[in-house]
Homo-oligomer: A and B are copies of this chain.
Amino acid sequence: MSGVYGANHQGSAATLALTGSMLIGAADVRGSAGEVRGVNPATGEQLEPAYGLGDQSAVDRAVSLAWQAFPVYRATSLAARSAFLTTVADNIDALGDTLVARVVAETGIPDPRVRGELARTTNQLRLFASVVADGRWLGARLDTPDPDRAPLPKPDLRQRKIPLGPVAVFSASNFPLAFSVAGGDTASALAAGAPVVVKAHSAHPGTSELVGRAIRAAVAEHGLPEGTFSLLFGDGRNLGTALVKHPRIAAVGFTGSRSGGLALVAAAASRPVPIPVYAEMSSVNPVILLPGVLAEQGAELGTAFVTSLTTSAGQLCTNPGLVFALGDADAFVAAAGAAIGAAPGAAMLNANIQQSYVEGTDRLAGAGNVTEVAAGGVDATIGACGQARLFATDGDTFLANHALQEEVFGAASLVVRVADVAQLEQILDTLEGQLTATVHAAAADQDTAAALLPRLELIAGRVLFGGWPTGVEVGHAVVHGGPFPATSTPATTSVGTLAIERWLRPVAYQNVPDALLPDELRAANPLGVPRLRDGAAE
């Protein structure tokens, strides 16, 4: 580990002083289209410094630099790009306590979870460093030519994947590190060879600047073009739309609300040249409890459920917002209700989110045939306090009221007492697309569970047998995606190594001389990357 963010500089005032500027390539640029500050959601305190918001000129400058950087950055060797990603991780780790403290102040997320998220973020960057070096992501394919084939010779065709172009990344509020400036979208796009322009989330601008400077330092340390990375602050509707509409932006990554994601999708589709938007948006993550498991472990499940539900004040995209219980759910509901009742009030990420949560839970409370099982504590010393709430209804009511499946972002959930498997299947048929679907089954439930799995995989990107959907493992086999509206593009994932494919497209080379081919397609395979020849592993 080395560089300007190395251990010697950790926490030094000179390096870590926040400026309130955007980072456009190597330049600090102060926006003049208004200001935003971080706010401590627990205390309401306005944090220093104020961040100047950018406008079209900031977008133009950042994207123009990204476009200039593109041919150079995408031509970096696998080894060089991998080393760059590792340095980004090292530089962020080196921020240490300074970064953790700023995240806590700006988001109200407890210190231990922030440290866990920090480790996840830099591990994710290192995972992509290993993915880049391995080269499987290039999708190298070679078809053996046959010059003597009749009636026409078979040409020499070779295929690899190249990056689409500069990528715009929109940060999420609920993971200020792992789905933000250096989160999965940025890591996978940089791994793919795409320069990145991040629009920071206004709820954690200081965190964004710290992380942004760590990336910029890595860019400089590795001698990469300054436009490889830029960080903008601005209003989503104005600066965000301008970024998506810029003709040199080739793809967009987004994690956030359904309305926000759909606005970007619409903006991208209305361009003269439409581009893909990978938006991860809305999910209520149904959990199915079958009769056998409810009878055997109803109370334990109720307690474990509330632990998952109230993690991070429920502000997780994989939060279990819907429970379908078959059979006798009394012990489960009683235990869950007791746990909810004992849950203390917790700081939500910001006042807007807390306001939406109150409105959403009040809608649930007021819905016909929906009863409130229990409510958690409220802490009057917390400004944007979230109160856990648990509701219950029956299957008929759920089927009759589509609004009951809308996401309420926070620690609220709805237990639906389902009449039988036939009604459950009817419910599954009406459910919107989800990030996850979970089934709990005891030995007596195995046949039912086996019959359900093919239905669950049609509505979700990740199917769990037992356990709870919160906690997304970052690896090769994970899928954090799913049918609309969980995402705008169900054939992808925003977490895990497969996420790199979002920023790539295949190109075929026909009869190109060996000396002019990219290294990964040359006869000698000098990079030693995994390849397919005539459809089989080489």
| A residues adjacent to B (C-beta < 8 A) | 71, 75, 116, 130-131, 134, 136, 141-143, 151-152, 154-155, 157-159, 162, 164-165, 265, 269, 273-274, 276, 432-433, 446, 449-450, 453-454, 457-458, 460-467, 471, 473, 475-479, 481, 483-485, 488-493, 497-498, 501, 504-513, 515-516, 530, 532, 534-537
A454 touches B71 (CB 8 A): yes
| Residue of B whose beta carbon sits closest to that of A521 | B477
**A491 and B461 alpha carbons, distance in the complex (Å):** 20
B273 touches A457 (CB 8 A): no
B449 touches A516 (CB 8 A): yes
**A510 and B453 alpha carbons, distance in the complex (Å):** 12
Q: Which of B485, B492, B535 contacts A131 (CB 8 A)?
A: B535
Contacts of A511 in B (CB 8 A): 464-467
**A75 and B454 alpha carbons, distance in the complex (Å):** 9
Contacts of A157 in B (CB 8 A): 473, 475, 477-478
B513 touches A465 (CB 8 A): yes
**A155 and B508 alpha carbons, distance in the complex (Å):** 38
**Known pairs A497-B535, A507-B457; A473 contacts B143 (CB<8 A):** yes
Contacts of A476 in B (CB 8 A): 141, 143, 159, 532, 534-535
Contacts of A488 in B (CB 8 A): 274
Contacts of A164 in B (CB 8 A): 490-491
Contacts of A454 in B (CB 8 A): 71, 75
**A69 and B478 alpha carbons, distance in the complex (Å):** 29
| Residue of B whose beta carbon sits closest to that of A471 | B152
B512 touches A155 (CB 8 A): no
Contacts of A508 in B (CB 8 A): 461-463, 477-479
B530 touches A506 (CB 8 A): no
A507 touches B461 (CB 8 A): yes
B158 touches A510 (CB 8 A): no
| Residue of B whose beta carbon sits closest to that of A489 | B276
Cβ distance A65 to chain B, nearest Cβ, rounded Å: 17
Central interface residue in A75, A154, A273, by most chain B CB within 10 Å: A273
**A105 and B157 alpha carbons, distance in the complex (Å):** 35
Q: Which of B75, B165, B464, B483 contacts A510 (CB 8 A)?
A: B464
A276 touches B479 (CB 8 A): no
A465 touches B71 (CB 8 A): no
Q: Which of B143, B471, B483 contacts A475 (CB 8 A)?
A: B143
Contacts of A130 in B (CB 8 A): 535
**A493 and B505 alpha carbons, distance in the complex (Å):** 9
Contacts of A269 in B (CB 8 A): 265, 269
**A483 and B165 alpha carbons, distance in the complex (Å):** 11
**Known pairs A450-B516, A488-B274; A463 contacts B509 (CB<8 A):** yes
The 8 A-B residue pairs with the shortest CB-CB distance in the complex, in nearest-first order: A479-B508, A157-B477, A159-B477, A143-B477, A141-B477, A465-B512, A491-B505, A462-B508
Contacts of A497 in B (CB 8 A): 535
Contacts of A537 in B (CB 8 A): 530, 537
Contacts of A530 in B (CB 8 A): 537
Cβ contacts A to B, 11 pairs, < 8 Å: A141-B476, A143-B475, A159-B479, A162-B457, A164-B490, A165-B458, A273-B433, A461-B505, A463-B508, A479-B507, A492-B505
